[in-house]
Amino acid sequence: MAKTLYLIDGHAQIYRAYYAPFRELNSPTGEPTRATYVFCQMLLNLIRDRRPDYLAMVLDPPPDEERGVFRYEIDNRYKANRDPGPEDLYVQARRIVSIVTALGIPVHCVPGFEADDLLATIGHRMRDEDVDVCLVSRDKDLEQLLTDRLRLYDPQKDEVIDPRVLLEKKGYSPEQAVEVQTLAGDSADNIPGVPGVGIKTAAKLVRKYGSAQAVLEHAAELTPKMRENVAAFAEQLPVTRELVTLRKDVPLDFRLDDCRADDVDFSAVRPIFSELGFRRLLDTLDGFKPAASPVDDNSASLKHAGEPEIHVEYHLVDSIEALDEFVAKLRADTQGKAFALDTETTGLNPVAAKLVGLSFSWKAGEAYYLPVRASVGAVLPEAVVVEKLKPILEDPTVGKVGQNIKYDLVVLRQVGIEVAGVAFDTMIASFLLDPHRSSHSMDALVRNLLGHEMIPISDLIGKGKNQITMDQIDTARTGEYAAEDADFTWRLKELFEPQITGSPVERLFHDTEMPLVEVLASMEHNGIALDEALLGRLSFTIAQRLSELTARVHQAAGHSFNIDSPKQLAGVLFDEQGLASVKKTKTGRSTDAETLNTLARQTDNAIPQLVLEYRELAKLKNTYVDTLPKMICRRTGRLHASFNQIGAITGRLSSSDPNLQNIPIRTETGRQIRAAVVAGEPDNVLLAADYSQIELRLLAHFCRDTTLLEAFQSGQDIHRVVAAQVNGVSVDEVTTAQRSAAKAVNFGIVYGQSAFGLAKALDIPVGEAQMFIDTYFLRYPGIRLFIDDCIARTKANGYAETILGRRRQVPELRSRNRQQVGLGERIAVNTVVQGSAADLIKRAMIDIHRALAKDDQVVRMLIQVHDELVFEVPGALVEPTAAMVREKMESAMSLNVPLVADVAWGRTWAEAK
């Protein structure tokens, strides 16, 4: 069997590591290390799993030498559209190269040539050696090099690409790759191709005619538009071909024997990993032995090596006698203490799903599973389990621990258990301690923090169309899976609890986020009622309007086309209608909402505005009007959305299944959708309570500007007051346009709105917008001082902090890239103001929930959308409930300005507004 040489496309893998979906990471000294960590993890996995005999890395020239690459001499426009990379990327790239070098892996870089040319040259030299070459890259530019002895390897997908796979996936052979790339060009490198021809079209043309030159020679057989584009490209073709063709003659000092993988010195990187805080990678190095023998490409192992064996005792409680013993032990061992709890169900919706079993743990390595549904194995009667567990689960003196425990609370409410004593949620703890963590899921936390791979749920229930439900699994397999969940939930609690205790987020965790879990569980259990008939009529009306809009767009275009296709729409707007392209993306000319709005303002062409209306209606129809009735739980007759505490890094709640926060309130269709949210009982009403201008009030609280404080304290129209101040007129003289401008600045200031953004919002010249902003800050110097102080404190501390102590790291402020710094400045101010608004409404929700529980009223909290709360209330109780809700919202925090909550009610959500 031939030996294997793996050549790492260095910068390509470093870029992938930098943009990988992984948490923000810094060393103990503050050095950014996310890309470094991800790259090193990839490298060690590559050595362990692929077992190369030889290993090396190639690099592009450094940025300051990039213009010396020979392709710039061919066409000085080459890569002209590339932005300079983030500063912290280059820091980590240098660190990665030093680590690879320390391992003893050769690193090759040749001035004047790119890494792809080095790969082509080395691969060409190896053609007569008894060595199979794998290029560690997924770069399409390398497809022209593929042979039976040279392949691409994508470490992220663990996928090998050879000539056969290339032909199957993309429809062309390695020999045709240069021809395809010549026709398609490469927008990323600013290499021009035939206008309107992408890779798929180019592949079809090359398959039909054989080469790019042959396509030119048969241009008469193409469509008129294609013929015109091909003819225009004829002069450029040889230049593009030369740019995309890789060189195989790079003057490179490469010796195969220098690349022996069994010479890799893992001990050399131990002090580096220790310095960077890479504890998990240090553990991986323990007992790490690179194999000397190769493995076949198709038999690479994906299992994680080096994981220590963990001794566990998992108990299956599947008889009444065992249940009694378990309940007695649970109560004796955890009295006045806590235990971890997890439920297994038949589905993801906690209201609609059936309980399959419960698992418990209060000691690392030991857990218990109580099955109530299964296809094979003894199960316990659900009613008996509920009867015996209900007293301890409802005992507030015993703490309950969970990973996303809200789900378990909602599940257990369906079987009659009102869990009390919710003490610790490991998912929320993870989010507060490190909101930048890429995932707060159980599997990710256990893998990254405890070094253990959890049993994948797919091992039990499968995937896709063949997926089954948990009640179709035998109790032994479900028991192992469920007990592991409870066990590692407890272990995460033991890991996180000391980190929470004494930390800046301790009070936020215990006083706000954990009490909120029970509030949200009640809201999800309550659900909302819908007027299905109204939604049915609305669906019919929208369908008619969409049909009318389609006809009008086609008439304006002069022919029919797929309005939902951005590519076809771009062709109509820019090629046929002659409108100017506003911006480009990686996939071509943009037709997004911003582009269409710009075109609608700047031209008399009717198509952009018609398409905007079409898209808005189609989105609302597909997302809400037609979907909401299908989401109703037939057992309760209500729709039960999920409210997520870790949905936004600012601390704002988000909702899903469905996302109630995206229903527009300023459009007629949005209002009609809200009209379909109704009180579920004939004598009930919906009560909506909404904070008035909460973010502006918090801004006034923080900046302590005298004029703003006085305006809020006297109950004046804050936008009219600001307009009067900025324009130098009395409040009575403020025009509608002046108030609108002041309102735009008031709200935009929190988000760092620029003069350009204000100009677009108000459709005024940029100079006029800048003058308005400058005057605004002159009139309100306290706001400018607050913003500057907020940014300075964030830069000094490395994080922004909300009113209740929620912290968000802002590494962008340390960048040398001005654009990144500007983003960091906006994040800093927005986190303080918007994050504090999120803290405020959470406190209000907790206070209202406790008041409702104490008074034992039949009032349901149903919805939270940003600064608004919606309740279902018996008509006879609406006025005292409104008074209580207003009082709790307005007293949730003590600020330098009064809090104001507007309260209204009606039969529907729309009426309550």
Q: What is the DSSP string of 624-663?
A: IITTGGGGEETTTTEE--EEETTS-TTS--EEESS-GGGS
pLDDT at 295: 27
For residues 368-374, average pLDDT? 97
Looking at the chain, the number of H-run helices and the number of E-run strands are: 37, 26
Give the CA angle between residues 878, 884, 889 to the nearest 5°.
120
User: pLDDT of 728-738, one tens digit each?
Assistant: 888 888 898 88
* pTM (2 d.p.): 0.68
User: pLDDT of 565-574, one tens digit each?
Assistant: 988 999 999 9
Q: Is the pLDDT of residue 428 over 80?
A: yes
Element (H, E) at 865: strand 860-865
**DSSP 8-state symbol, 787:** H
User: pLDDT of 193-242, one tens digit each?
Assistant: 998 888 999 999 999 999 999 999 888 888 888 888 888 888 889 899 99
Average pLDDT of the chain?
A: 89
pLDDT at 1: 65
pLDDT at 293: 30
Instruction: HSE, CB side, 13 Å, CA atoms: give it for residue 264.
Output: 27
**Which tokens sit at 732?**
């009575």
pLDDT at 298: 29
Cα separation values, 130 from 2, 5, 54, 255, 386, Å: 6, 10, 12, 14, 68
Are 480 and 353 a contacting pair, CB within 8 Å? no
pLDDT at 774: 87
Distance between alpha carbon 26 and the CA centroid of its chain, in Å?
20
Residue type, position 142, single letter: L
Q: How far apart are CA 145 and CA 11, in angstroms?
A: 19
Sign of the alpha-carbon dihedral angle for 724, 730, 731, 736: negative
Are 599 and 579 a contacting pair, CB within 8 Å? yes
Are 586 and 608 a contacting pair, CB within 8 Å? no
User: pLDDT of 848-897, one tens digit each?
Assistant: 999 998 876 689 999 999 899 999 999 999 999 999 999 999 999 999 99
Residue 59, Cβ neighbours under 10 Å: how many? 21
pLDDT at 355: 97
Residue with tokens 């002046």, as numbered in its chain:
738
Q: What confidence category does residue 801 fall into, taking pLDDT thresholds of 50, 70 and 90?
A: very high
**DSSP 8-state symbol, 245:** S
Going by C-alpha positions, the residue among 700, 712, 898 that lies closest to residue 780 is: 700
Q: What confidence category does residue 751 fall into, taking pLDDT thresholds of 50, 70 and 90?
A: low
The answer to which of 211-225, 292-306, 370-384, 851-865 has the lowest mean pLDDT is: 292-306
Beta strands in 347-456 (DSSP E): 355-363, 366-371, 399-402, 422-425
Q: Is the pLDDT of residue 596 over 80?
A: yes
pLDDT at 306: 38
Going by C-alpha positions, the residue among 413, 428, 909 that lies closest to residue 646 is: 428
pLDDT at 290: 39
Q: Is the pLDDT of residue 307 over 50?
A: no
Instruction: HSE, CB side, 13 Å, CA atoms: give it for residue 821.
Output: 9
Contacts of 728 (CB under 8 A, 6+ apart): none
Going by C-alpha positions, the residue among 694, 705, 700 that lies closest to residue 778 is: 705
Q: Is the pLDDT of residue 301 over 70?
A: no
Which stretches of 446-580 are DSSP H helices?
458-461, 475-500, 506-507, 514-526, 532-557, 566-570
For residues 555-564, average pLDDT? 94
Cα separation values, 457 from 355, 462, 463, 480, Å: 16, 8, 9, 11
Q: How far apart are CA 910 and CA 913, in angstroms?
A: 5
Q: Is the pLDDT of residue 454 over 80?
A: yes
pLDDT at 287: 53
The answer to which of 14-23, 549-558, 582-591, 604-613 has the lowest mean pLDDT is: 582-591
Q: How far apart are CA 44 and CA 134, in angstroms?
A: 16
Give the CA angle between residues 138, 140, 145 to the nearest 5°.
95
Q: Is the pLDDT of residue 626 over 80?
A: yes
Q: Is the pLDDT of residue 617 over 50?
A: yes
Q: What confidence category does residue 83 fall into, taking pLDDT thresholds of 50, 70 and 90?
A: low
Going by C-alpha positions, the residue among 753, 750, 758 that lies closest to residue 828 is: 750
Per the model's pLDDT, the better-predicted residue between 763 and 46 turns out to be 46
User: pLDDT of 642-656, one tens digit each?
Assistant: 999 997 888 999 999
Residue type, position 127, single letter: R
Per the model's pLDDT, the better-predicted residue between 647 and 504 turns out to be 504
Please state, for a pLDDT cut of 90, what percent of the chain lies above it.
60
User: pLDDT of 98-124, one tens digit each?
Assistant: 899 889 999 999 988 999 999 999 999
Highest average pLDDT, of 1-5, 18-22, 265-269, 427-431, comes from: 427-431
pLDDT at 750: 61
Q: Is the pLDDT of residue 325 over 90?
A: yes
Q: How far apart are CA 331 and CA 96, in angstroms?
A: 53
